């Protein structure tokens, strides 16, 4: 099993994982709040839900600006970006949805993750330096 090159890259991977899952949860909560506000006809809830979705858009924009710098140490592929490259045959989608979701949940649970492009397992808890 491969390890990250430094503790800085390991911390960046963990923060990216939390940011990715935060974006998903924020978008879902914004949609649910807007739906509840429309059902009970409460303008305040709709406003809160809309601002939640606006903040989600800003957070996703920041994530995609930063995600080009996070790379797999072995193949130098960008883990968080859909680059159009062919996925490795051992790469598995998490819940059948996304390769990035699998990487994010594995890193947060302190489990080894597999790079979707080279297919090599990496430790999400140890680094070389």
Q: What are phi and psi of 94, to 5 degrees?
A: -80, 125
In tens, the pLDDT along 52-73 reads 999 999 999 998 888 777 777 7
Q: What are phi and psi of 123, to 5 degrees?
A: -80, 135
Q: Total structural domains in the chain? A: 1
User: Has residue 127 got a pLDDT over 70?
Assistant: no
At 25 the pLDDT is 93
Full residue range of the structural domain in which residue 81 is found: 2-127
**Both structure tokens of 23:** 């974006």
In tens, the pLDDT along 99-125 reads 878 888 888 888 887 777 787 777 777
Note the pTM of the prediction, 2 decimals: 0.80
In tens, the pLDDT along 15-31 reads 888 988 999 999 999 99
In order, the DSSP letters of the chain are -EEES-HHHHHHHHHHHHHHHHHHHHHHHHHHHHHHHHHHT-HHHHHHHHHHHHHHHHHHHHHHHHGGG-B-TTT--BTTS--SPPPPTT---BTTTBHHHHHHHHHHTT--EE-TTT--EEEEEEE--
d(CA 13, CA 7): 10
Mean pLDDT value of segment 68-85: 75
């Amino acid at each position: 099993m491969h390890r990250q090159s430094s503790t800085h890259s390991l911390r960046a991977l963990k923060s990216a994982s939390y940011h990715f899952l935060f974006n998903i949860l924020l978008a879902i909560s914004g949609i649910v709040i807007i739906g509840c506000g429309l059902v009970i006809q409460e303008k305040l809830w709709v406003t809160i839900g809309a601002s939640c979705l606006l903040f989600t858009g800003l957070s996703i924009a920041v994530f995609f600006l930063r995600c080009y710098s996070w790379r797999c140490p072995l193949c130098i592929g960008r883990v968080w970006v859909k680059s159009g490259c062919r996925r490795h045959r051992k790469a598995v989608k998490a819940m059948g949805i996304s390769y990035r979701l699998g990487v994010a949940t594995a890193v947060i649970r302190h489990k080894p993750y597999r790079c979707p492009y080279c297919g090599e397992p990496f430790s999400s808890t140890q680094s070389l330096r």
